[in-house]
Structure formats: structure tokens, C-alpha cells
Structure 1
Amino acid sequence: MASTERKHEICSPFLPRRNALRKTSAEIVSEARQSLRVQSTQRPFTPRDGERQLFGKNSTRADNRPPSAFSLHAQNFDAPDSRPGSGTRLSPLDHKPKFPVPCDAEDPFKAFPKPPTDPLEVKRGLAGARTRLLRAGSLTTLPPVEGHTDVKERLIPGPGQKQTSAKRLGSADPTEVCSGPNKPGPRRAASENRIKQPGDDSGVRPTECSTGRRTGLANGDTRTTSTEEDAESFLWNNMIAPLLQQLESVAAGSSEGSVDRLCDLCERLHGTLAEADMLGRRCKRRSGILRALFRLIDLNSAQLNLHIAKLCLALCVNGNNLLNICKLIFQISRSENNDILFQNNSIIDSLLGILSNEDMSASGEALLYCVGTLKFLSGNSAVLRLLLDKNCIGVAQKLIQRLCMTEDTNFAMAGHILVQLTGTLRNLADHPDSRRLFISFSLLSELCLVLRHHCKDQDICTNISRIYSKLSSYSECRLALAQTPDCYQLFLELLSKHHQKQDLVVRLLFTLGNLTAKSNEARLRLFQCKGCLGILLQLYDSYQRRDDSLPSPTSSPGKPPVPPMSVQEGDDVLVKLIRVLANMCIHRAVGPALATNTSCIQLLLETLELRSVQESEELLVNVAATINNLSFYQEESSLLRHSQLAIAKLMLKLLISSSMDAMLEATRVYGNLSQSKDVRDFIMQNKVHQFVVTLLDSKSTEMCFSACGVLTNLALDPPNRVSLSLEGAAAKLVDCLKDLGPGDWQLAGQVCQALWNMIGGGSEKLLDKQERDSLLEILVTYLDKEEALQWIENEDMRDYHRTCWELEFLPVAQKLVKTFQPLDPTA
């Protein structure tokens, strides 16, 4: 017959074309599919700490680290916060004058009132009120607000008097408020005279009014100061003091709902001070307010303490008080049940303000507890969103820059703070909206600088590695990190320095795997780093579980041991490490170097020998994928060429396993190795071809594609064609073409190549008439371009499928049709 006389061309082995000509997009995709493959793996899981602590149970810090648990009481706070005390405490006046004391023209200090000699009189003045205000007690019912109800009455002028308001007091002539020797002034209310008593902690100076008037006539600045003090006194007596008295009254009782009332009073006090521009350190009676607030802390209410803390921070406490307020907030944040309180309170703004303004050398411990609070809160998704909206990442970036410039004397405290700060950023990195902020604030590069400065601190390095492992999964973050100078060398140095720290190692390797997954430049830059292969292979050897009797390919006498770990932990490191090797060898300059590296090949083969698919499935799949990539390089010096039979034997346990991923990778390896006659003989002798034919029944296009590649190579040898035919390979190939061909023209082309090689000397030896007719009908239908591509709706995909159809399917299908048509002239 004509077909038997026609010279039959055998298709080339299942090997990707490697020519110097410019390839189309379909050819590039085809080569990637047939040979070199990027490996993927899951990001390492980071369990949350069971308890909220500054430093978790796995921390490696010394015992002198700041504590996470402590007790705070009112006595821990310093009441006269505004300025240091003089050591002398003045007593209140023993009378309630209707008119200010006149000044002595020669000696104004003689006009100062003398303290009472009878101590019983002291208790009846302001001291008694202050004693009640500062006394700690149980909660009580909120009494009617005093001082607010009669403010308007005090501002209403009497007969013949001028109308006076709080606004006018700030600019009025002091003689309208304070009388001289011959001019009586307006009579003050009893409560006003009682509140305005001299005392060091209240900030009130005796007879300020009269002395200010007298000196103000000669000095305009002093006169203005006196006027401002009078205005503050008015606000204090009529607005602030009544609120403090109500706080004292409610705190002394024990009624239900008193905490809410105290919180409301704190909010009103905050608002009043803000409206009067008396926040910060501008209020001269500031220490009296702080003393009253500190007393309320002993009530031990988280909700109330947050209001107190917010007001104290607004009053700009410093020193020991700032530290204790930050500790108080930190203590509240340790309970997840209190997270809702932070959502309904602007205390987060105050914390971010501390991080922006406080100096590390003076307030390092306060900053530590402040950032520790944010770390705890960032574990809550609702608060995390608030932190992003309030520019927490921008504040963190500025703080990192300041901490990196810390002097040696504060280096340890800077490290403690950075542990909390990087822990906060680790949580923030979970939110999708954070990625653009990490990039815009150049935080990925800033964190590399932190790693440089604190490379010995395992806690900091681990937190940053967690940030990188999260963000490097996204292309925009990978690009930003790849542009950081020397980041690859830095990661390798950390891997070498902390090779025993498993959770740090696995995340750095995962990050390197992400960087090398889609960037050819990254593959080369990593490979060219000093000691790259040596560090990676030494790490591989350290985490390779083996019997003591087995020699180590990279063993050295001084190599420190890796601490004991579970099978899963050791496998996780190797999975990420081997993925880096698999991705690196895709580069044409790196692949041959790895293929000729004795230690690399020995470690890969040893892993296949030591592990089982049941316990280490992902690890063995990655090893097989790496071997598949390395087998692409067929240089004479390649060790894989001399180990092909050993590899073929080791692939058997993957092929016959129950894991589809393991079977797929083993089939791909056989597809490359079966170019060798020795490997093809091994496959036929060990009945491997029967498993491969069975894989054609799979509904997976990848599985069928790899199986077709093996069959294409096996059919190069005429004796093998008969064995394949007896296994029903030809019929299964036709079914595969019919079912999967229209959706994957690369697969359809590979099926046709396998059929072409299996036909050999003539088609009558392969298929019966019914099977030939069915195959011809399929081929004729598929050769109609419009018919073949009609179901592809996406225009971009249609172009891709058209290219694959033209390059991969059409040439081989046309040859098959010409071979079969003479057998049936009516076809």
C-alpha cells in the first residue's frame, strides 16, 4: 500500500525546542510547560500568641526585658507634674474677704495674707474640699452639677453694674475685676473665694489680682498677664472646679452606672479645657486636675481609665507620669474584651502622637508600652482598619528612622521597641490596603536597614521575615523589595547566622522563593551573591533528616547541630529551600552550575531515598520538580546524565503513590529522562509504561500532556510500539484527543506526535477500521480553523489558541491525515 511505501518520519523525542530564533508567545508557553517550571508553596503559618505579652513565649531576649504584667495605683503617679514643688505648702486663708487685700506701695509682699495659726481653720477651707476630692472611695450617684447652673446668674449684672462675660474677662481692664485701695470691687461668690486659695499644687499665686493691677500700670505685659490669669480664674471657678467636685462626689459613692457618669464627666472636663485652650501645660492649676484624675485610677475600671489616660495625655504629662499612663493603657489592651473601648475612644490618636513626638532617650520605656499596645490592638481587624486610616504606617516609618540612629547607650531599649513595632507592622501587613502604604513609605527598604542594625536580634529578624513572607506574595511588593540594594546578600547572611532558628529560616527562604519565582534577574542576582550555593546547600544538609550512619555530602567537623524539631518543621524548611533551587535553575546561567554541583545532586537524591510520599508529599514533589528542571540541561558535565537510571528508579515510588501531584511530577521527569535509551529500557522492563498508559484516562490536561510525552519517546523504539499497542495506548490517545483536544491545542499536538511515532511502518498495525475512521473524522473537524476555534469567546484567549493551533497541532495533524486517507478512498 502507498502508506507502507511512504517514508515515515519519526517525531523527535519529547524535548522542548531550543533554537536561537525568536519564539512566538505560544512557543514560549510550550517550552515552559514541557520543561522548566516555577514551584509554588504555601506561606508559612504564623500562630497567634495565646496571651498578649510584650515578648512571646518563643522570645530569645534576656531576663532583663521589661515586664508585661504589673500593678498600677494612684500612689504610683506624681501629682505636681507641672513643675517641681518648692518644698513649702501654703495653707488657705482663714477668712473670706469681700474685697481684695490692698497693696502696700512700698512693699507689695506685705499685702500677702498670712496663713492661719489654728489648724482647725484649715479644714474648713479649700483643703477640706481638696481632701474630699482626692479621697479614694467607692462609686456613688452623680449629684446635680454645681457651678454650671449658676454661671449665668453670676454673669448677669446687678443694678448699676456693667455686664461681664468670660470672653470679656480676657481683655477687660483689671480694675473692673480687681479693686485698688480706694475702689471696691464686685463681691465674689463664696465658692469662688474658696476655690481660689494659694497652694503650690494648684498653681494659684496669692493676691495675683491686686499686685498685677499695680504693676500693670507701669508694664503692659504684666497687665496682660494679670488679665489672662483673671480670665483663667473665672473659668476655673465657674466651669472646671465644679466638674472636679462632681468627679469627687460620684467617685465617693457606689451607685449603679456611676462609671458611665464618671466617664461622661471626664469627657466634659476634656471638652471644657479644650474650649478654654487650657490643655497641654497652659493651665496653671493643671497639677490639681491631674491629682484628681490619678485618684480615680484606683476604681479599677478599664473604660474610665481610658478616659483618664486620654485626658492626662492631652495635659501633656511627662516623666514618670507619662510612663505610668502608657503602662495603664497597655494593661487595658492586654484583654481582647477591651478592644471595643479603643474603637469608641480617640486614645489611639494620643498614642500615635506620643510615637511621633517623644524622644527615645528620655521616654524609651513609655514608647515601648505605647507600641506594645498598638501591637495588641492591631490583632483586631476593626482596630487594624482604624490604625491604617490614622496613618500608623507613616508614624512607624518615622519612628524606625529615629530608632536606627539611636546611640549605643539606648541600643537595647531601641531593640525592645522595634520588637513591638515590627510585630505591629506584621499585623498591618495582613490588610490588603496596607500594601500600597508599605511601598509609598519605603518601609520594605527601611526594614532591611533595621535588619542590618539588629542582625543579632532574633526577635526583630523573625518579625521582619514574617512581614516579607506576607508581602512578597504580591508583585508590587516583590518589585519594591527587589530594588532594595543587597537584600539578597542580607538574607543569605541572616540564614547563615540564624540557621538554627527554624521559623526565621523558613520565612526568609519563602521570601527568596517568591522573589525568584517570576524574575530572571532575581535568580541571577541571588546566585551571584557571595557564598550563595554554599549557604543554601549547608542549610539543606543541616535540615536533612538522616540516620547517623549515613554520611553527609556537605558535612564539616565544626558544623553546629540543628535543634530537634518535628518532621513537619524540618520538611517545611526543605520545601521552601528546594523551591528556591528549582526557581534559580530556570536561569540559563544558573541551571548548568546546579546540574554539575555534586553536593546539590546528592542531597536531592538522598531526600528521595530517605522520605516517603505518605509523610513528605510536598517535599518529594518539589524535589522531583527540581530534578525535572535540572534535567533540561543536557551538558556532558551534568551529573544528572550519569545518574539517570538511579533517578528513574527513585521516581517509581512517586509514580505508584496515591498522590496525583507526585504522579504528575514523576511523569514529567520520565518525559525528560526517557530521551535516553537506557531509561526507556528500564521503563519497559519495569512495566512503567502500563502506569503511563493508564494516566491517559485522567481528566487532567497536565497529566495527559506529560503521559503523551513519555509515550512519544517510548515509541521511538520499534519493539516498544507493539507493547504499547497491546496496552491499548492508541485507542486511549484517540479518546484523549477527542475529549480534551479542543480546549488545549498543545495537548492535541502532543497526542498527534505520540500517534505518529506509534504508527511506525503503517497504520493497519495500530488501529482497526472503526478506530481509523473515528480518528480521521476528529482530525478533519479540528483542521477546520473556524470550526476548531468557534467556542473560544475571549478574544485574547482566541488569539492564543489560534497560535497554539497553528504551531503545535496543525503540522502533525496534517501528516496523520495524509497517512490514513489512502487506506479509505471514500474518507
Structure 2
Amino acid sequence: MASSPTTSFRGRTLSATEATGPTPPAGSVRASSGRRRVMPRAPRRSTSAKEDRVSTATLDEDVKWSQVQAVLNELEPDMDRDALLNLLLSLDSQLNKPFRSGKRNAALLRSLYRLLDSTDAITLVRVLKLVLRVTQKGATLSNACKLFFKLSRDETNDATFKAEGVMDILVGILKQADIQANCDALVYCCGACKNFTSNSDEAQVLLSSAGFVASVLGHLRACAHQATPTKEMINFMVQSTAVLRNLAVNTNLLTGLVDSAMIEVLAEVLHAFLGEKDVVLNIVRVYGKTTLQRKGREQLPTTVASDLMTLASNFQQHQAMCVRIFFVLGNMAAGDEELRQHIFEATADGTAVLGHLVAHSQVLLTKARDGAALDKAGKPSELQDVVIKIVRLLANLCISETAGPGLFQDTRLDVLLELLSDDVLQEQEELVINLAGAINNLSFHDVPDNRVLALRQELADVLTPHLLSSQMDLVVEVGRVFGNFSQLASVRELLVERRVHELMVVLLNHENREVSFIACGILMNLLTDAETRAAVEPYEFAESVLEVLDRAQHTDWQLAGTCCKCVWNYLAGWESDVTPTTRLEADHLLELHDFLGSLLEAPPSSAAEGLDVYSSEFEGVASHLHDVCGQMLEAAGINPDASQDSVADDGEHDLEPL
């Protein structure tokens, strides 16, 4: 018996066996020694519709084969490129599925394989499309995916991939192929998708639109539940999660990714493969994007926090991994109390976070002393970025009102002061901003032996210079710390000694609302001391206050109310001044009196206009301040109602600092 014809595709041998139809049963004649018995003739059966269809299909295939064969006869590897491409297009239009005859398929494949030595990308892609239309099995599928992968490594082929619809082909393979039988092919398939989407928003959209995410998640879930995954499965997970990482970078695709089952499936893979560095790094990078959205955080299974902390311990020396782990945990802790509780459970009430902070900070401090805290370009090192992300996580955890006292009493918090005291690191703006944020949040928890509050004098000393920074983001974060710390007399003395009160007066009417609000808050505390009140320059203070009130009226009652408290403290004890207009000149007093009166006469009419905030933050202090201004004017012999008769005096008010 002759052997089946074979063809070789990239070193692998494939069998192409001719398909044959079923052999009809042979007729039989029954013989006997007697006279032949005449049997009644059976009626002839009419041809069924099915036979008609088979006959028609066979005829159609014969016609189609004749057309295809005519084109195959013209194909030559060394023929003119344009002519070859046109012939391949002709084949593409004629061939929409394999032939029923294995012999014909084998002949077609042999003709196509001869063209695979071409160096022209378009030729190769069109040949591969035809090959895969004939068969997607075994070595043929694997070698086709390998060649797609090889082509994808050259960015100049991206346009060809787009024009020829390669993404649809690759996603089609993912939908059809079995992960057990075709894992090698799927590795190269996803590798090609990864290369194609690495630097192009358009390519990412094309792949997503082709249905990549839904197609790959089933395979990933199957891998996660494998008791003994093969090396090829690990490679598949590396490549497929890398594609998801590329797609997650595209903000236009992020919502769709979050709405899919991706977050849950990746959590299963993460939990099952905590030791596979490349796989988990890709997953953490994906989570770094999805956790920026509330829904992306809400969909995280409860196991994720614990798994991420395990990774942080397993890969403590892998800084790229740690940066992303703590970034994701920081996102989780930023806006969801339930997720904070998961992190507390995974970190022994947050104390494990301090362990990582100290470990990485000590290395950073050593490098800073050795002059190696920055990279070769003079930018913050990856190690510094790890410390920043851990500090941010700590700050976000401290938002929780249920955080245990052990976190705030831990002496390892002293490392925050060490970082701020380093001559090199105190120049690193992002690090200082995050340190200030953590210190501020830690200081709000009134627990015995709060370590940050115990160190506030030392912390204030190293933070004060940053209030004079030209970087307003830094001023705001450090200012928030002093809004709390400046309640301590020794800290207020330090700030006045450094002339911080002068800067705060200047910043009162800063265009940045947060800067203005922080300046009001610090000044409000500083002005509780008579020495500070005496040091404030009256004219500049009055001008700044009036500008703040003018800008805040009707739009920001909280800022306006804080500004009034600041003025209230400034005017405290005015009765003992040489003249009633020592601190504020008469025209400023009149202007402030009239302005407050007009705001009090026309309060917001509804909650939508800010009535609640007006009532709680502004109305009370503004009313009292308005009355005091009137008393000061009267004491100076000036009629406070000369310009506004509608505001009545409710009586005298003896000012005490707020």
C-alpha cells in the first residue's frame, strides 16, 4: 500500500491523506438448486434532497478546485512581487474554507509552503492566512504562529498587520485552539499580539475590538486551575498577561477591561502562581491601572491584599515589582474602607507595612550617605520610588478611623524623621510631599503615645523650610502638617522665628484655593499669640483678607469662614491697643464691616447654593466679626452704619482667640 504524501513546514512533517467517501455495500444474489424464484421488483427510490445537495456540493468543489488550481499553476516564488500578491488575493477570494478532499488540500498547502522562504512581509502574511484557512492543527498552526511572532518583532510590519487583519486571525486562533493541545501555538500567538500592541494606541484598540480579552480569559482560568501546569502554560501566561498589560495602558480601553471578568481571573492566576515573577509582575502592572477606578478596586477579591503582601516579601529585592505592589495597595487604601480593612488584616494592623518601610528606607539612607540616592541622570532612583509608594500606602491607611493604636505608637515611625533629616533626600520633592501627607494623617489620631505627636517639635524643625518652597504642592502638604502642629506653642514660636507668618500673609490670597486655605489655617493658629499678632503688618494683612473674602463669597463658604476666624484671632484684645484702628485702619474696618454685612443679609436660599456650609462654617463667626468691626469703628468715633444702615448692632463682644 503506497504511503500518504507528506509536506514539510518549517522542519515539521505533516501528513496529507486523501479523503475517500464510504464504499457502498456490494449487492448479493441468493442461489438455490431449484427453480429460480422471481422476486417482485422493488420500486425505485427517488433521489433524496440530501443526495442532491452532496452532488451539487461536489460539483461546486470541482469547479472551485479548477479555478484554484489554475492560480496555483501560476505561482512561483521568484515571480514579480505585485503579480504574486495579486494571485494570492485571487486565492483569498476563492478559498473560504478547506476542500473536502484531503488530496486537494495537500496539493494546495505544498504550493503555499514554497512561498514561505520569501522575505516580503505582505507575501508571508497572505500565505499564512491561506494556510490557516486550510488547516489550524498541529505543527501547521504552531509554525504559522511562530512566523507571525517573528514578523511582529519588526515594527515596520505593523501597518501590514493592520491592513491584512492579522489581529482577527490571531484572536480567531485563540477562540478555536485548545490550551492543552495547542499551548505552544498560543504562546507565539499571544507573543505576536504583545509586540503589535506595545507602542500603538490604534493597535491596542484593534486587538481589543477583535475580542482578545474574552478569548484569552478562559485559557488563563484553565491554567490557574491546573494542578501541574506545563512550562508552555507558564510561557502562555507570561505572554497573555503582557498583552493585557499593554491594553490596560490605554485609558480608552480601561473601562471595558474593568467591566470584563479580567480582574477576577487575574486574581486567580496571581493566587496560584505567586512564585512566577514575570506572570505576577504583569498582573500587578495591570492592577496598577485598574485600581485607579473605583469599580476596578471594588472588584478585587479579598485574597488580593494578602497575595500582594506575600509578593512584597518574596520579591523584596526586586524594586520594579515592589514599586507596583505598593502602588496598587496604596490605590486600594485610598478610597475604600473595606479594602483598607483587608490590608489591615493582611499586614497585622498595618505594622507589616512599617517593616517594609524601614527595610527599604535604611537601604535608601545608606545610598544617600554614599552619594548614590539618585540614578545616573540625577533623577530619583527606583529604590526611592519604592519608599515613596510605601509612605503613600501608610498615609492612606491612616485615613481609617478604625486603625489600631499599635500602628501609631510604633517606634519604627522614627524613620520618617530620618528620611526628612537627610541632606540629599530632603531635596526630593515627591518624597517630602508623601512624607508630609503620612505625618499629617498620623498626627490626627489622638491615641496615647502617638509617635508622630511625640516627635512634632523635631518634625516641625525639618519641615519648616519647605513652607518657603516655590512648589505650591509641597507647601500645601507641609502646610497641612502645620495646621495641626501649630496648635503647640513651641511650634508656633519656631514658625514665627523663621518668619513663616509673613509668608502666610502673602499666601492668603494665592490663586490656588488649597494654598489660601492652608495659609488661613496656619495663621489662625499663629495669631492666638500676642507676639505674633504684633508682628503682623496691618496693611498687607487687611488687603489679603479682603481679597480672600471677595474671591470666596457665594462659592466657598468654608474658606470665607476660616478667613474670618483668622481675622477674629488677629483682632483679639484690640481694646488694649493705643487706638481702635491700630491693627486695621479705619477704611479697612469699614470695608470689612460693610462686606460682611452684605453677605449676612443675603444668605444662600438652598442646600444647592451652599446653605448648609454657610450655616456651619461661615454665618456664626462672620456675624460676630461684623459686630466687633462695628464696635471698633464706634470706639474710633466712626459711625459703622454710615454706609450701611440696615445692619444692627447686637451688642458688645469681647474677643478671645479661637
TM-score (norm 2): 0.83
Q: 1:243 to 1:357 in 2, by over 3 A?
A: closer
2:210 partner amino acid: K
The reply on whether 1:314 has 2:248 as its aligned counterpart is no
The reply on whether 1:358 has 2:183 as its aligned counterpart is no
1:451 partner amino acid: L
Residues 542-691 of structure 1: matches in 2 within 5 Å? 542-544=359-361, 545-547=364-366, 567-590=380-403, 592-600=405-413, 602-610=414-422, 612=424, 615-691=427-503
Q: 1:514 to 1:311 in 2, by over 3 A?
A: same
For 1:216 and 1:754, how far apart are their aligned partners in 2? 113
Larger RCO of the pair (alpha carbons < 8 Å, separation 6+): 1
For 2:68 and 2:351, how far apart are their aligned partners in 1? 72
Q: 1:732 to 1:346 in 2, by over 3 A?
A: closer
Q: 1:549 to 1:664 in 2, by over 3 A?
A: closer
For 2:315 and 2:565, how far apart are their aligned partners in 1? 51
1:825 partner amino acid: N
1:320 Cα shift?
2.2
Q: 1:234 to 1:283 in 2, by over 3 A?
A: farther
- Work out whether residues 347 and 353 of structure 2, in 8 Å CA contact, stay in contact via their aligned partners in 1: no
- Work out whether residues 779 and 817 of structure 1, in 8 Å CA contact, stay in contact via their aligned partners in 2: yes
The residue that corresponds to 1:460 in the other structure is 279
Farther off after superposition, 388-397 or 413-422: 388-397
1:395 Cα shift?
0.8
The residue that corresponds to 2:74 in the other structure is 249
- Work out whether residues 251 and 262 of structure 1, in 8 Å CA contact, stay in contact via their aligned partners in 2: no
The residue that corresponds to 2:146 in the other structure is 327
- Which secondary structure state, in structure 2, belongs to the residue aligned with residue 499 of structure 1? coil
Q: 1:263 to 1:532 in 2, by over 3 A?
A: farther
The residue that corresponds to 1:520 in the other structure is 337
Question: Which ranges in structure 1 are unaligned for 5 or more consecutive residues?
Answer: 1-72, 84-202, 551-561
For 2:412 and 2:107, how far apart are their aligned partners in 1? 75
The reply on whether 1:264 has 2:81 as its aligned counterpart is no
- Work out whether residues 368 and 425 of structure 2, in 8 Å CA contact, stay in contact via their aligned partners in 1: no
Deviations 1:54-109 (Å, cap 9, x if unpaired)?
Answer: xxxxxxxxxxxxxxxxxxx96625565334xxxxxxxxxxxxxxxxxxxxxxxxxx
- Work out whether residues 466 and 475 of structure 2, in 8 Å CA contact, stay in contact via their aligned partners in 1: yes
1:736 partner amino acid: V
1:694 partner amino acid: V
The residue that corresponds to 1:393 in the other structure is 213
1:485 Cα shift?
2.3
Q: 1:549 to 1:406 in 2, by over 3 A?
A: closer
Q: 1:771 aligns with which of 565, 588, 596?
A: 588
Query: Aligned-residue CA RMSD in angstroms?
Result: 3.4
- Which secondary structure state, in structure 1, belongs to the residue aligned with residue 274 of structure 2? coil
1:357 Cα shift?
3.4
- Work out whether residues 81 and 317 of structure 1, in 8 Å CA contact, stay in contact via their aligned partners in 2: no
- Work out whether residues 77 and 320 of structure 1, in 8 Å CA contact, stay in contact via their aligned partners in 2: no
Structure richer in helix, relative to its length: 2
1:386 partner amino acid: L
- Work out whether residues 274 and 307 of structure 2, in 8 Å CA contact, stay in contact via their aligned partners in 1: no
For 1:230 and 1:740, how far apart are their aligned partners in 2? 87
The reply on whether 1:819 has 2:632 as its aligned counterpart is no
- Work out whether residues 76 and 324 of structure 1, in 8 Å CA contact, stay in contact via their aligned partners in 2: yes
The residue that corresponds to 2:3 in the other structure is none
Q: 1:495 aligns with which of 306, 312, 326?
A: 312
1:499 Cα shift?
1.6
The residue that corresponds to 2:527 in the other structure is 715
Deviations 1:446-484 (Å, cap 9, x if unpaired)?
Answer: 111111222111111111111111111112211112xx1
The reply on whether 1:76 has 2:39 as its aligned counterpart is no
The alignment of Structure 1 onto Structure 2 pairs a total of residues equal to 601
1:494 Cα shift?
0.9
Q: 1:443 to 1:573 in 2, by over 3 A?
A: same
- Which secondary structure state, in structure 2, belongs to the residue aligned with residue 360 of structure 1? coil
- Which secondary structure state, in structure 2, belongs to the residue aligned with residue 692 of structure 1? helix
Deviations 1:498-526 (Å, cap 9, x if unpaired)?
Answer: 12222221112121111111112222221
- Work out whether residues 613 and 657 of structure 1, in 8 Å CA contact, stay in contact via their aligned partners in 2: no
The residue that corresponds to 1:59 in the other structure is none
For 1:82 and 1:714, how far apart are their aligned partners in 2? 90
Q: 1:469 to 1:735 in 2, by over 3 A?
A: same
For 1:229 and 1:264, how far apart are their aligned partners in 2? 28
For 1:425 and 1:587, how far apart are their aligned partners in 2? 33
- Which secondary structure state, in structure 1, belongs to the residue aligned with residue 587 of structure 2? helix
For 1:204 and 1:665, how far apart are their aligned partners in 2? 77
For 1:826 and 1:235, how far apart are their aligned partners in 2? 104
Q: 1:236 to 1:546 in 2, by over 3 A?
A: same
- Which secondary structure state, in structure 1, belongs to the residue aligned with residue 454 of structure 2? coil
The residue that corresponds to 1:289 in the other structure is 108
The residue that corresponds to 1:39 in the other structure is none
The reply on whether 1:804 has 2:616 as its aligned counterpart is no
- Work out whether residues 81 and 318 of structure 1, in 8 Å CA contact, stay in contact via their aligned partners in 2: no
The reply on whether 1:478 has 2:297 as its aligned counterpart is yes
Q: 1:796 to 1:241 in 2, by over 3 A?
A: farther
The residue that corresponds to 1:406 in the other structure is 226
1:421 Cα shift?
0.3
Q: 1:727 to 1:226 in 2, by over 3 A?
A: closer
Q: 1:252 to 1:643 in 2, by over 3 A?
A: closer
1:746 Cα shift?
1.0
The residue that corresponds to 1:11 in the other structure is none
1:419 Cα shift?
0.7
For 2:102 and 2:72, how far apart are their aligned partners in 1? 19
**Percentage identity across paired residues of the two chains:** 27
1:433 Cα shift?
5.7
Q: 1:292 to 1:758 in 2, by over 3 A?
A: same
2:388 partner amino acid: V
Q: 1:563 to 1:405 in 2, by over 3 A?
A: farther
For 1:325 and 1:465, how far apart are their aligned partners in 2? 31
1:537 partner amino acid: L
Q: 1:665 to 1:817 in 2, by over 3 A?
A: same
The residue that corresponds to 2:655 in the other structure is none
Farther off after superposition, 73-82 or 816-825: 73-82
- Which secondary structure state, in structure 2, belongs to the residue aligned with residue 669 of structure 1? helix
- Work out whether residues 375 and 424 of structure 1, in 8 Å CA contact, stay in contact via their aligned partners in 2: yes
Deviations 1:592-627 (Å, cap 9, x if unpaired)?
Answer: 443212102x11111111155784101101111111
1:711 Cα shift?
1.9
For 2:143 and 2:245, how far apart are their aligned partners in 1? 27
The residue that corresponds to 2:645 in the other structure is none
For 1:568 and 1:619, how far apart are their aligned partners in 2? 11
Residues 211-230 of structure 1: matches in 2 within 5 Å? 215=26
1:754 partner amino acid: C
1:263 Cα shift?
1.7
- Work out whether residues 693 and 707 of structure 1, in 8 Å CA contact, stay in contact via their aligned partners in 2: yes
- Work out whether residues 238 and 278 of structure 2, in 8 Å CA contact, stay in contact via their aligned partners in 1: yes
1:294 partner amino acid: Y
Larger Rg computed on CA atoms: 1
Farther off after superposition, 281-290 or 616-625: 281-290
1:304 Cα shift?
2.4
